[in-house]
Structures are given as structure tokens and as C-alpha cells.
Amino acid sequence: MVDGIQRQYASRIESMTSFKVVDFLEAAVKMEAQGRDIVRMEAGEPAFPTAPAIIEAASAALRDEKTFYTPSLGIIELREAIAAFYGTRYGLQIPPHRIVVTTGSSAALGLICDLIINPGDGLQLTDPGYPCNANFVRRAGGEPQLIPVDAYNAYQLTPQAVAEHWRDNTVGVLVASPSNPTGEMLSRDNQRGINAVVASHNGVMIMDELYHGLVYDQCESSILEINNDAMVINSFSKYFGMTGWRLGWMVVPEDALEAVNIMAQNFYISPPSIAQYAALGAFEPATIDLMEARRAEFRQRRDYLVPALRELGFSIPHTPAGAFYIYAGIEKLSADSEAFCWDMLERAGVAFTPGTDFGEHLARQHVRFSYTQPLHRLELAVERLSKALAE
């Protein structure tokens, strides 16, 4: 309301869902400002500082005045560095020109949805899943086709589920592995099977590989090993811990490049220049060593937290394979995840996110814990939760 006038904004806004994690984040920040100590397990960002080689690369870029627009698809040095990373990590030869640098993978998700979705088209997504995906689909005029997934299938799609839910207007599938909010992975067999179902419908296979590098008991494989034409999104936010630098990338098939370039030119002009030069430091051996040490630390946190939460009555049918999330059932503790999360924030001083942020399927029975805080803070969270649950 401005000057007493109620403006009418575009109807697409009405169908967009809010990001509940931000409500909890804001409430936690407010309580901290009032002097309360809150263990912050709601947000999905590593609390580690930016790696020294990345800071150094950014400082050098500032000194060298690399502060101008760059090519819309990103600076070539970075596209080459990312392509080389696919060589060392996965043994894949991806030509650098197929790599598109974006303003966070969020921009990549938007570009891909705008590229493949006509008004009325459907895109298959998991429920639960990353909440913004459905809103990118809606922004493009499409219909999010949510497929319920459960613990029995490691909260992932199966080829059967994709085939059963494929409708006349479906144009593709977007899968995240490891997933947010569950940390669970899609097996290589299921990647292959889903890819075959999608190919049989001439659909588009989109894989969100954002949490690659944060996998603890197995080796992750890229969908590009199976399907060279799949669309892959990735980011410097999670494994490289660069959330605020707002830099991601995607790998697209040759025939998509021209359209993606036109959209990137128009919508963003270019990804942030300093962040791109900074990201060159992400591929320095010293940074990779540091990230691998952090990966080991995340694993240690997960291995502490999963049994500790089970002990408190949360149900975690199997240990999540990666990311830094635990998606826990609260059937024994509460009937309503939102009320439960607000109550635990207030009484225990521990912030975590209700399942209702990630979809509708069994969302009131689940919460997401993010283990981005150091181990001693997670221990404090468990101690506080234990006390509050016993009251």
C-alpha cells in the first residue's frame, strides 16, 4: 500500500510461494540482536570463510581494475578452468564453450526454464525438493509437476515414477543429486533409467549437481557421463563455499548456446566480473585441498548428528549421502513441523526449517537440519533440543 493506493501487481506473483527458511533466518537474526544465542541450522550455506586463494584472486582483479562487464557467457579463462575441472573430477572432456557462467546457479535455473518451457508446459520436480525450482517454472508460464518421493527411494525419483507421471504437456525432468532438503543421491542406475524414459519422450534431462564435492561415502557421477546433451547446473556456492559471490555455471548442449547467449545478454548482461576472476582461485591446488579438508569435516558433523538426532526421537531411515542436510521425521515429536520449528527456536534457541518449505508431501511430518556450523555448536544444539523435548 503506497499513499493509500492498493496496487495490483502481476498475477504470476500470487502463484509464487515464499521461502520459509528466510522467515526462520530473520527471526533468528532478530533474537540474536536481542542478545539470545541461537544455534543456526536453518540456512543452506557453509559458515567457512572464503578460501585465501579466492580472496587473493579477487584482490588482484580489483587492483587490475577488472571491474567492467564481461562476455555474457563468462570470461573464457573461467570457462576453461571449469572445463578442466570436469576432466580431473569426472574424466570428461567438455568443450569450454559449452560452459555458461551465471549469477549463481539460480540464474542458470531461470535461463534453463525460460529456454525449454512454453506457457502451459510441465516440468517434473521432486516433492520434497528445492523450493525455488517450482517458482522458476511458474515464472516461465509453466506448470511444476511435483512427484512425491519418500525415504523408501532415498527421496529420489525412479524411472517408474517419471514414466507414470509423464503427461502430454511434460517437457522434462529436473533432479538434484545430492538433493536439498534430503542430502540423498540418485543412483547411477536410476540416472540411466530416468534418462532413458526422458529420451523416449524427447524430453529434457536437467540435473542439479550443486552439491557435488559434498558426498561422503561414495563417488558422485555426472549425468554428462550418461547423456552428453543433458543440461547440468552447478555453482561455486556450496563445495567452494562462495554463496555471497553469486556465481554458478551450467553445461548446455551446443544447440542451446545461441538462445542462452541472447537471454543472458538481455537479462543480466554478464555475471559479476570480480566474482569470476575470484573463482579462478577456486581451482588452485591449495583451494581444492582446503575444500577436501572441509568435506571431511562435514562428514564428521553428519556422522555425529544423525545418531544424536535419532536418539532424540527424530526418524532418519537412512544416513544421507551428501550435501549438509538431514531431513528428519518428527512423527514421534509433533504433528506440525511449522509449530515445532517455531517452538524449538523459541524454547531451545535452535533454528531449523520445517518440511513445508520444500513441498507438500509429508511436509508437516519433517524438518530439515543444516549442519553448516562447527561440531561444538551442533553438540550444543543437541543438548538444548534434548532439554526442551524433555520439558
Ligand X SMILES: Cc1ncc(COP(=O)(O)O)c(C=O)c1O
Residues that bind ligand X (CB under 6 A): 44, 104-106, 130, 176, 180, 208, 210, 235, 237, 243, 248
**What is the DSSP pairing of strand 248-251 with strand 99-102?**
antiparallel
Q: Which is nearer to ligand X, 237 or 334 (CB)?
A: 237
Q: How many Å apart are CA 156 and CA 173, to the nearest integer?
A: 12
What's the closest the beta carbon of residue 178 comes to ligand X, in angstroms? 9
What's the closest the beta carbon of residue 105 comes to ligand X, in angstroms? 3
Q: Which is nearer to ligand X, 237 or 337 (CB)?
A: 237
**What are the CA-CA distances from residue 159 to residues 129, 133, 192, 200, 317 (Å)?**
17, 20, 9, 12, 22
Q: Which is nearer to ligand X, 250 or 305 (CB)?
A: 250
Q: How far is CA 24 from the centre of its chain?
A: 18
What's the closest the beta carbon of residue 247 comes to ligand X, in angstroms? 8
Q: Which is nearer to ligand X, 237 or 365 (CB)?
A: 237
Task: Tell me which residue of 307, 251, 322 sits closest to 90, measured CA to CA.
Answer: 251
Q: Which helix (H) or strand (E) is 124 found in, with range?
A: strand 122-127
Torsion of CA 276, 277, 279, 282, to 10 degrees: 160
Q: How many Å apart are CA 171 and CA 123, to the nearest integer?
A: 6
**What is the DSSP pairing of strand 39-40 with strand 204-208?**
unpaired
What's the closest the beta carbon of residue 65 comes to ligand X, in angstroms? 27
Q: How many Å from the N-terminal Cα to the C-terminal Cα in the chain? A: 43
What's the closest the beta carbon of residue 180 comes to ligand X, in angstroms? 4
Chain residue whose CB lies nearest ligand X: 104
Q: Which is nearer to ligand X, 232 or 348 (CB)?
A: 232
Q: Which is nearer to ligand X, 121 or 208 (CB)?
A: 208
What's the closest the beta carbon of residue 108 comes to ligand X, in angstroms? 8
Q: How many Å apart are CA 308 and CA 145, to the nearest integer?
A: 35
In this structure, are residues 126 and 290 in contact, taking their beta carbons and an 8 Å threshold? no
Mark out the alpha helices in the chain (DSSP H runs): 12-15, 20-33, 52-63, 76-90, 104-116, 132-139, 159-165, 188-200, 257-267, 273-279, 285-312, 337-348, 375-390
What's the closest the beta carbon of residue 134 comes to ligand X, in angstroms? 12
Q: Which is nearer to ligand X, 244 or 307 (CB)?
A: 244
State residue 185 phi and psi, 5-degree precision: -115, 155
* Residue 108: Cβ-neighbour burial (10 angstroms; 0-12, 13-18, 19+): buried
Q: Which is nearer to ligand X, 22 or 335 (CB)?
A: 22
What's the closest the beta carbon of residue 107 comes to ligand X, in angstroms? 7
